[in-house]
Chains A and B, each alone.
Chain A
Amino acid sequence: MGSNRAPRLVIAAALLLLACKWNLTQAVLHPTVEQRVNECLSGTIPWPGPVQVNPDSFRFAVLTDPHFGKSDTLDVTGIRAEFNRLGVDFFLVLGDLVHDGLADEYSLAVAMLDSIGLPYYSTIGNHDLYQADGWQQFKERFGPSCYVVTVGDQLKLIFLDTAEGAIGPTQFDWLDDELADTTVTKLVATHYPLYDGSMPGPYRLSSTAERNKLQHLLTNHHVPAIVSGHVHAWRHTAVDGVDHFIAGSMSPGALDYGDRGMLVFTFARDSLAWTHVPFPTH
């Protein structure tokens, strides 16, 4: 009898611990991707405007998964120095800005990212929703999770909300419309990747059909690249004419899976070139 009880007690204790750490009601009651996207597209959350760049040539970095709260030791000075060295004009942060979705973590995230001193665009990750008010915190501090910004009148950055590993009907329809624009180069940025190499982990969009449909849209609309995070590792996978990038995590310490770094894109005369830049290890 005692041996039968032991596993149940362990599971109950684990659930209790998780319930204390994360708001587990959030697991099923959080605003769905459909609700968040509808809010983003309704105009109630102001979209960020385009940064001022030299339209003939500009450069931006892609950072992801800082997990502020878990890792509050981001080397802002080092990142700023690297940005200066590379001539980065602005940067993207692709979700998991905070670790447990707490208000204090959001405050820290804003302070740290602002202190880098360059304009940035962000989207949401799964960790950002780990509290009942996670979405509220995110949109108040960072704005929409699903939006478009066209930089230098030539590069359309399309941010997708994949915080639950899903895209949803409204966002698919909206994406199809946004991708139909043939006058600009398009880049899709999101948290969850479509593919993550051969790892057997749950680190990609949940549905096979959804992955296939998104890949079809990207190919059909001649999108050169999609950038994502979530995996905490650096990946580059070419699929049917589309470059799939997973930028290495910003997170040091326990969340560093050995691929800390960032992607740097250079846009010049309709062409988009990329390079992966590892973070310096101290």
Chain B
Amino acid sequence: MPGLAAAGWLAGADLGFGFEPGVEHRLVLEAMATRPVSSVLTFSGFIAAALPGFDNPGLARYGLVVEARRARFGLELGLAHEEWSSWTAGENRALLLLSARPARSWTCAVGAAWRVPVFGRTYHSPFVWRADAAELNLAYRLSWRFLSTGRLSAAAYLANTDRSSFRNPQQLPLGLVVNYEASRWTVCARLGTGIKGLSSALFSPAELDAHLGVERGF
């Protein structure tokens, strides 16, 4: 999060296009804000809408994240609600992640997510936290910054969760992130894919996830 140490608030917007052939293509506009409340503790919030003209338009997700960070270690607790309006499907999610930075260019995190699918009339409710189909999933985030030259940095990631979204762990979402810093602004681009269908020795990449966003410190 460039600029965060120097600034109080960090605000950002992200436009993401997700494409799974035959399943969903979605254009999502997301707004986020982050506020450090001490040298250790940071609060973040996000809200996203899926734009008309694509699948499942309307509210896409919202949530809160609390992060405690000390030296190379961090603890992240998140609550999120996500939904797919046309399918009257939603998910409430609690995420706990332990993160570490073993080296300057490496970040890794591992944890668990309690995921509660909600369907039908209650799909938009953020208050349903038990269901027959609820499941506990592995959460992971591994990132390697392989380029860092002045304003430009680039990293490769393997992660099934960022702040706001969550993929099934067996999808193995992976990709590249490029950040360009200009004054208090940072432009972020992300291009990713995932393994659609992994079991033992069968896998086939068949999806696309492309994002372009900006962040600004205040």
A152, CB-defined interface residue at 8 Å: no
Contact B196 A198 (CB under 8 A): no
A55, CB-defined interface residue at 8 Å: no
* Residues of chain A with a CB closer than 8 A to B167's CB: 207-208
Stretch at the interface among B66-74, B147-155, B199-207: B199-207
B82 nearest in chain A by CB position: A208
Contact B21 A206 (CB under 8 A): no
A202, CB-defined interface residue at 8 Å: yes
Contact B20 A18 (CB under 8 A): no
Stretch at the interface among B31-39, B84-92, B100-108, B176-184: B84-92
A45, CB-defined interface residue at 8 Å: no
Identify the interface centre among A24, A26, A198, A209: most chain B CB within 10 Å of its CB. Answer: A209
Contact residue among B131, B132, B171, B199 (Cβ-Cβ distance under 8 Å from A207): B171
Stretch at the interface among B4-12, B134-142, B210-218: B134-142
Expressed in whole angstroms, the Cα–Cα distance for A238 and B206 within the complex equals 30
B90 nearest in chain A by CB position: A212
Contact B23 A169 (CB under 8 A): yes
B98-138: contact bitstring with A at CB < 8 Å (1 yes, 0 no)? 00000000000000100001011000000000011111111
Contact B138 A239 (CB under 8 A): no
Contact B198 A26 (CB under 8 A): no
A22, CB-defined interface residue at 8 Å: yes
Contact B200 A126 (CB under 8 A): yes
Interface size grouping (class) on chain B? 35 or more
Given A206-B198, A215-B89; A27-B22 close (CB under 8 Å):
no
Contact B168 A198 (CB under 8 A): no
* Residues of chain B with a CB closer than 8 A to A237's CB: 132-133
B169, CB-defined interface residue at 8 Å: yes
Contact residue among B23, B166, B197 (Cβ-Cβ distance under 8 Å from A164): B197
A216, CB-defined interface residue at 8 Å: yes
Contact B201 A27 (CB under 8 A): yes
Contact B119 A219 (CB under 8 A): yes
A168, CB-defined interface residue at 8 Å: yes
B24 nearest in chain A by CB position: A209
Contact B22 A197 (CB under 8 A): no
Contact A26 B202 (CB under 8 A): yes
Q: Give min CB distance, A222 to chain B, whole Å.
A: 13
Expressed in whole angstroms, the Cα–Cα distance for A167 and B137 within the complex equals 21
A27 nearest in chain B by CB position: B201
* Residues of chain B with a CB closer than 8 A to A194's CB: 133
Given A209-B24, A212-B84, A212-B87; A130-B133 close (CB under 8 Å):
no
A111, CB-defined interface residue at 8 Å: no
Contact A206 B201 (CB under 8 A): no
Contact B87 A199 (CB under 8 A): no
Expressed in whole angstroms, the Cα–Cα distance for A213 and B117 within the complex equals 12
Expressed in whole angstroms, the Cα–Cα distance for A75 and B22 within the complex equals 41
Contact residue among A164, A173, A199 (Cβ-Cβ distance under 8 Å from B196): A164
Given A33-B197, A207-B196, A239-B117; A212-B89 close (CB under 8 Å):
yes
A226-240: contact bitstring with B at CB < 8 Å (1 yes, 0 no)? 000010000001111
Q: Give min CB distance, B57 to chain A, whole Å.
A: 14
B94, CB-defined interface residue at 8 Å: no
16 pairs, A vs B, C-beta closer than 8 Å: A28-B204, A30-B202, A129-B202, A165-B196, A165-B202, A170-B22, A171-B22, A198-B134, A202-B198, A204-B170, A206-B198, A209-B23, A230-B199, A238-B132, A239-B117, A239-B133
18 more A-B contacts (CB under 8 A) besides A200-B112, A209-B23? A18-B201, A126-B200, A127-B200, A168-B21, A192-B199, A200-B135, A200-B136, A204-B170, A207-B23, A207-B167, A207-B196, A208-B167, A209-B24, A219-B119, A238-B132, A239-B117, A239-B131, A240-B119
Q: Which 4 A-B pairs have the closest CB atoms?
A: A169-B22, A164-B197, A202-B170, A240-B119
